[in-house]
């Protein structure tokens, strides 16, 4: 999942913190089994997808809703171990080039098409077909040469190179399984109502308003950690699009909706005080939210200037006050939910004196009338395009604080608030020295996407993921080796070395995990966020009165 705009696109986790779940009033019987029935109203602050099939494009808003009607081959449990879902078992050959997936034999898509190896093959081919216009899923199955139908319940993946991230890739909603018959209807129709095997079915999509999902009465199974079988309790879900965060929270308070996502820090603090709402904190997997320093051009091509910037910028107090204690400072480029995340706080200790000394050493000795350092007549300017679709207000305020503290060391940080198209335009034209671009993906392979020098070469669209423009052959070798190393321990060690190189080179200033907070009313119980990419799971949720 490329740069994942908060409202427009992508990341997975485990830390499901259920606060204050004991909301039953005296009249209720908390011991009773969840009542069946009722329609849940879910209000999302993410953008409305332009296609409900997450194979097409592939962004986070699609993942959020697709998790209700599509299922993947595998899932992750709370400890981020891969667990069965539609596939019950898998084996890999010694050379890592062949994977056998044993499939469940009792699953039928909601249009009646049986789920079997032929369907798996059709899905992978759909992702790889340029007509599908897939980005995220396309990259995820990039090393899959073909899928062989050995038997209805055995799908054999042939790879072009060993891929230690294959299972993680297949656990993502962007590679979820859809009915081949549904796919054959063509993109227009499949975008309107993709057909899956999940607990709910797409019933109707009223653009800019809502998507109606109804219960799949025949649903059974689910990810192996589900703990129960059978169809959902809820009759359905009304999936509403409420882009304004204040309105979304007000709608939850007023009881118009039962769950909201993208809850803002100040409202989380309020909700915690009131006790009338329940929070689920599910940071997204993949990369953390971090500022990338563009090492591809001056002034950040000089490691001393990068280090000086990181020494100068104070963010801890700002994160505390702006996020009201709901976000924890990160010192890793990976999300804290990733077991392979490597963190080193000592690299990020701030010191204005050190920053000044480093800049002096790097030749930025003079200061102009505004207090901005200069060198050979050039100002120490740092252009910082910020996507207003992607950065919440609290984050934008934090960036202003970055601007203010960097100024003390003589940096002129120029924040530019841009809409998404203009923001990408600035990146593609390399008109930036600093940028925040979240990226959601399961597993540490995200490091390869973000920091391998291959990712500096732009796609035809101009898109490139290595925004730090980090080009280091040693790092490339580590990341390539890790991607084909199946031994977990060895793999983790390689990723640790890689992260040490990234952090030690001062290419990024980690801020916090990609924030992903849900708030729901106490009427709702049994909701959780799937550990895969932290999307909500409602098959075991129920509403009380």
Partner 1 sequence: MSELELRAQAGAAGSGPKPALRRRRVPRAATLLALAFVAFLAVAVVAPWLLETADPNAIAPREAFEPPSPAHWFGTDESGRDVYSRVVEGTSASLAIGVAATAIGLALGLALGALAALGGRVLDFAIGRVNEVLFAFPGILLALLVIVLWGPGPVTATVAVGLSTAPGYARIIRGELLSIRDSGYVEAARVLGHGGGRILVRHVLPNALVPVAALATLGIGQAVVWASSLSYLGLGAQPPAPEWGAMLSAGRTYITTAWWLTVFPGLMIVFTTLATTVLGRALTARDGGRR
Partner 2 sequence: MSRPSRPLRTIVLRLAGAAFVLWAVATLTFFAIHLVPGDPAQAILGGPGSQASQEALDRVRSEYGLDQPLVAQYGAMLGRLVTGDLGTSYSLKTSVADVVGAQIAGTLLLAVLALALAWVIAVGLALWSSAPGRVARAVSGGIELTAAALPHFWLATVLIAVFATGLGWLPPVSNGAASGLVLPVVTLAIPLAGFLAQLMREHLLVALEQPFATSALARGETAVGVRLRHALRHAAIPAVHLSGWAIGYLISGAVVVETIFARPGLGRTLLRATELRDVPMVMGVVLVVALVYVVITVVTDVVAALVDPRLRTAGTAR
Please report whether residue 352 would count as binding partner 1 according to CB under 8 A: no
Give yes or no for residue 471 binding partner 1 (CB under 8 A): no
- Whole-angstrom distance, CA of residue 89 vs CA of residue 106: 15
Residue 250 contacts partner 2 per CB under 8 A = yes
We find the least distance from the C-beta atom of residue 439 to partner 1, in angstroms, to be 22
Is the C-alpha dihedral spanning 474, 475, 480, 484 positive or negative?
A: positive
For residues 249 and 517, give the distance between their C-alpha atoms in angstroms, rounded to a whole number: 12
* H or E element in which residue 146 lies: strand 144-151
* Nearest CB to partner 1, comparing residues 12 and 402: 402
Of 189-197, 255-263, 395-403, 487-495, the window that binds partner 1 (rule: CB under 8 A) is: 395-403
The residues pairing with 287 across neighbouring beta strands, listed in sequence order, are 334
Exactly one of 25, 91, 346, 421 binds partner 1 (CB under 8 A); that residue is 421
Residue written as token pair 């962007």: 174
User: In the sheet that 366-367 helps form, which strands lie side by side, from edge to edge?
Assistant: 366-367, 373-375, 378-379
| Partner interacting with residue 297 (select from partner 2, partner 1, none; CB below 5-8 Å by kind) | none
Are the C-beta atoms of residues 99 and 145 closer than 8 Å to each other?
Answer: no
Q: Which is nearer to partner 2, 91 or 461 (CB)?
A: 461
124 vs 137: CA distance, rounded Å = 9
Distances (CA, A) of 313 to 94, 400, 496: 48, 11, 25
**Under 8 Å CB-to-CB from 320, ≥6 apart: which residues?**
none
Comparing CB distances to partner 1, the nearer of 270 and 484 is 270
| Total interface residues for partner 2 by CB under 8 A | 50
394 belongs to the binding site for partner 1 (CB under 8 A): yes
- The whole-angstrom separation of Cα 120 and Cα 125 is 9
Place of tokens 């120029």: 414
Establish if 457 lies at the interface with partner 2 (CB under 8 A).
Answer: no
Contact residue for partner 2 among 25, 91, 208, 489 (CB under 8 A):
208
Residue 459 touching partner 2 (CB under 8 A)? yes
* Residue 264 binds which entry of partner 1, partner 2, none, CB below 5-8 Å type-dependent: partner 1
Residue 402-431 contact track with partner 2, rule CB under 8 A, x = bound: -----------------xxxxxxx------
The one of partner 1, partner 2, none whose footprint includes residue 438, by CB under 5 to 8 A per kind, is: none
Q: Which of 11, 38, 54, 57 binds partner 2 (CB under 8 A)?
A: 57
Between CA 271 and CA 128 the distance in angstroms is: 44
Q: What is the closest distance, in whole angstroms, from the C-beta atom of residue 509 to partner 2 in the complex?
A: 22
Judging by DSSP bridges, how do beta strands 144-151 and 154-159 pair with one another?
antiparallel
Contacting residues toward partner 1, per CB under 8 A? 245-246, 264, 266, 270, 317-318, 320-322, 388-389, 393-394, 396-397, 399-401, 403-405, 414-419, 421-422
């Amino acid at each position: 999942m490329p740069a994942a705009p908060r409202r427009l696109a992508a990341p997975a986790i485990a830390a499901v913190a259920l606060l204050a779940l004991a909301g039953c009033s005296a009249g209720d019987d908390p011991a009773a089994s969840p009542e069946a029935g009722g329609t849940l109203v879910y209000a999302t602050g993410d953008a409305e997808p332009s296609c409900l099939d997450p194979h097409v494009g592939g962004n986070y808003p699609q993942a959020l809703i697709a998790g209700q009607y599509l299922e993947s081959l595998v899932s992750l449990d709370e400890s981020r171990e891969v667990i069965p879902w539609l596939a019950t078992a898998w084996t890999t050959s010694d050379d890592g080039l062949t994977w056998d997936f044993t499939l469940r034999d009792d699953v039928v898509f909601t249009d009646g098409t049986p789920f079997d190896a032929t369907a798996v093959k059709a899905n992978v081919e759909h992702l790889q077909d340029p007509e599908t216009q897939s980005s995220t899923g396309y990259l995820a199955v990039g090393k899959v040469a073909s899928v062989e139908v050995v038997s209805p319940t055995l799908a054999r993946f042939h790879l072009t190179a060993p891929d230690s991230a294959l299972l993680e890739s297949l656990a993502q909603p962007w590679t979820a399984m859809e009915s081949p018959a549904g796919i054959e209807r063509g993109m227009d129709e499949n975008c309107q109502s993709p057909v899956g095997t999940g607990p709910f079915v797409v019933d109707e999509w009223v653009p800019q308003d809502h998507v109606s999902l109804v219960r799949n009465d025949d649903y059974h199974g689910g990810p192996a950690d589900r703990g129960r079988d059978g169809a959902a309790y809820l009759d359905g879900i009304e999936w509403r699009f409420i882009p304004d965060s204040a309105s979304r929270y007000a709608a939850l308070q007023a009881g118009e909706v039962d769950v909201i996502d993208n809850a803002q820090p100040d409202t989380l603090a309020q909700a915690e005080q009131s006790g009338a709402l329940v929070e689920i904190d599910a940071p997204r997997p993949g990369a953390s939210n971090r500022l990338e320093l563009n090492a591809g051009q001056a002034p950040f091509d000089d490691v001393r200037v990068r280090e000086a910037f990181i020494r100068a910028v104070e963010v801890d107090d700002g994160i505390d006050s702006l996020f009201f204690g709901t976000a924890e400072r990160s010192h890793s480029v990976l999300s804290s939910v990733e077991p392979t995340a490597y963190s080193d706080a000592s690299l990020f200790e701030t010191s204005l004196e050190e920053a000044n000394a480093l800049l002096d050493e790097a030749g930025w000795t003079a200061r102009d009338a505004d207090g901005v350092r200069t060198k050979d007549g050039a100002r120490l300017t740092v252009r910082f395009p910020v996507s207003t679709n992607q950065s919440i207000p609290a984050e934008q305020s934090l960036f202003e604080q970055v601007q203010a503290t960097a100024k003390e060391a003589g940096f002129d940080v120029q924040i530019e608030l841009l809409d998404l198209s203009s923001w990408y335009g600035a990146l593609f034209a390399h008109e930036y020295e600093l940028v925040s671009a979240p990226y959601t993906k399961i597993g540490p392979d995200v490091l390869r996407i973000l920091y391998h020098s291959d990712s500096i070469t732009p796609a035809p669209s101009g898109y490139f993921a290595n925004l730090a423009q980090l080009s280091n052959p040693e790092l490339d070798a580590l990341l390539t080796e890790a991607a084909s190393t199946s031994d977990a321990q060895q793999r983790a060690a390689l990723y640790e070395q890689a992260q040490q190189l990234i952090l030690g080179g001062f290419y990024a200033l980690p801020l916090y995990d990609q924030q992903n907070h849900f708030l729901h009313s106490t009427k709702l119980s049994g909701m959780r966020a799937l550990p895969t990419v932290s999307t909500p799971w409602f098959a075991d949720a129920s509403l009380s009165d």
